[in-house]
Amino acid sequence: GSSGSQCAETYRGPSPASEPEVQAVQDYVRATFPDQRDDPISAAAPITATGVFLDIHSYSELVLWPWGFTSQTPGNSTALQTLGRKFAYFNQYEPDQSISLYPTDGTTDDFAYGELGIAAYTFEMGTSFFQDCGTFESTIVPDNMPALLYAAKVARTPYMTASGPDALDVTMTPNIVNSGTAVTLMASVNDTRYFDTVGSEPTQNIAAAEYYIDVPPWITTTTPVAYPMAAADGSFNSTVENVTATIDTSSLSNGRHIIYVRGKDALDNWGVVSAQFIYIIDPVASPFINGQVQAADTGQPLAATIHVGALTQVDNDPTTGLYEVQVISGTYDLTAVPDSADYGPV
C-alpha cells in the first residue's frame, strides 16, 4: 500500500497526515461533514448518513470505494456497492472495492468514510495520465458529468436513495398555461440503471410515483404535499414504468413553479428526484411571441417546431407557417426547426 522509504514513489511520509496538503484536505472535509461513524473498522454509518466524497484520479476507468488497505468489507458495503454501480451506469467504468485493484493505505476515500462515515469514492478517469485536451473534452467529461450530477442529487441520503428508481424524462403538456388549465405530467421511473460488470445489483418492480409542487419531499420547514401518479398502463408491475398525472393549476400564482417527481420500488426505496418548470401566465397581461416560418428559397410556408429558448416549444400551422405562443415576460432566443430535412434550423 505505501512505503516507509523516502526514495519510494509511494512514500507515506514520516507520520500520518504529515504533509500540509493532506492536512488541508482533512480539515476541509471535517469542517464540511459531521462525524457519522464510530471508529471500529466494522462499524457502519447510519443509513441516514449524509454526504458524498469524490476523489477524481487518472487513470483506469474505475469506480472504487473503501476499503483499500484491507479485503474486509466496510460496514456500509452493500450501500457503497449500490451507489458505486449506479455511478458506473453513467460512465461505464468498472465498479469495485478499492482493494480489488491493489492495496492502498492513507487514501482520501478511506479517510472520508473511515473517520466520518461519508459515502466516499475514487473515480479513476480515462485511459492514461495527462490525457490530451481533446480526449478530456470529448470523452472524459461527457462520460462522467452525468455521474457527478447524480452524486449531487443523491448526496442528501446516499446510502438510501441510490437503491431507489430514477425518475426520468419528466414532461408537462402544456408547460405554459393560464391558472386553472389542467396540465398532463408524464415521466418514466426506472429501477434498472446499474452497471453489473462485477456482481449483479438486485432490482425491483416500481411500486409508486408521486410529484410535488414547489416544495420538495426533503424540506422540513414547510410541509411537502405529495400528489400520487398512476402507471400509464394501469398497473405497477415492472422494473420500468411510465407514469402520469394531471396537475390542477387553479391554486398556482402567476410565474414559474417547480414540479418534482420521484418513484418508489417494491422494497419501499424512494429514488432521486427529477424536476421541470411549469409557467403560469396572465391571460391578459402576459406577452405573445408570433411569427411565420417560410422557405428562404421559395417563400412558401414551412411546417416547423419553434423553440422559445429553454422555456417551451410550439408547432406552427403547417399550411400558413404562422405560430403564436404566450410567454412570461423576458428575453428569448427563438429557433425554428423545419420538419423537412431539406431545410436547416434558423
Q: Which CATH number belongs to the domain containing residue 267 in this structure?
A: 2.60.40.10
Residue 114 lies in a domain: yes
Domain-located, residue 298: yes
| 112 and 35 in a common domain | yes
* Backbone torsions φ then ψ of 22, nearest 5 degrees: -65, -45
Question: Domain end: 161, 188, 205, which one?
Answer: 161
- Is 99 within a domain? yes
Please check whether residues 197 and 228 belong to one and the same domain: yes
Considering the domain architecture, whether residues 26 and 155 belong to the same structural domain is answered as yes
Helical H runs in 129-177? 133-135, 141-154, 158-161
* Predicted pLDDT of residue 245: 99
The residues, ordered by sequence, that sit 6+ positions from 35 with a Cβ below 8 Å of its Cβ are 115, 116, 117
Question: How much is the pLDDT for 197?
Answer: 87
Whether 183 and 305 share a structural domain: no
Look at residue 47 in the predicted model and tell me its pLDDT. 97
> Residue 324 is part of which domain span?
288-338
Within a domain: residue 318?
A: yes
Our count of domains for the chain comes to: 3
DSSP-assigned beta bridge partners for residue 239: none
For residue 345, tell me if it sits in a domain.
no
Asked if the structure places residue 131 within a domain, the reply is yes
Name the domain boundary from 126, 161, 196.
161
Contact at 8 Å (CB) between 84 and 63? yes
Cβ neighbours of residue 20 closer than 8 Å, sequence gap 6 or more = none
Same domain, 324 and 244: no
DSSP-assigned states of every residue in 165-205: PEEEEEEEESSEEETT--EEEEEEEES-----SSS------
Tens digit of pLDDT for each residue in 61-91?
A: 999 999 999 999 999 999 999 999 999 999 9
Judgement on whether residues 119 and 155 belong to the same structural domain of the protein = yes
Domain boundary among 117, 141, 161: 161
β-partners of residue 314 are 306
> Which grid cell is 110?
478511506
CATH classification of the domain holding 117:
3.40.630.10
Span 151-176, pLDDT tens digits: 999 999 999 999 999 999 999 999 99
Model's pTM, two decimal places? 0.90
Instruction: Tell me, yes or no, whether 28 and 156 share the same domain.
Output: yes
304 and 294 Cβ atoms separated by less than 8 Å: no
Say whether both 151 and 40 belong to one domain. Answer: yes
Please tell me whether residues 273 and 177 are part of one structural domain: yes
Query: How do the pLDDT tens digits run along the chain, 346 residues long?
Result: 899 999 999 999 999 999 999 999 999 999 999 999 999 999 999 999 999 999 999 999 999 999 999 999 999 999 999 999 999 999 999 999 999 989 999 999 999 999 999 999 999 999 999 999 999 999 999 999 999 999 999 999 999 999 999 999 999 999 999 999 999 999 999 999 999 888 899 999 999 999 999 999 999 999 999 999 999 999 999 999 999 999 999 999 999 999 999 999 999 999 999 999 999 999 999 999 999 999 999 999 999 999 999 888 899 999 999 999 999 988 999 999 999 999 999 8
Cα gap 136→143, rounded to integer Å: 10
Same domain, 107 and 185: no
Q: Are residues 39 and 58 in the same domain?
A: yes
| Residue 6 belongs to a domain | no
User: Is residue 110 a part of any domain in this protein?
Assistant: yes
Residues 27 and 61 in one domain: yes
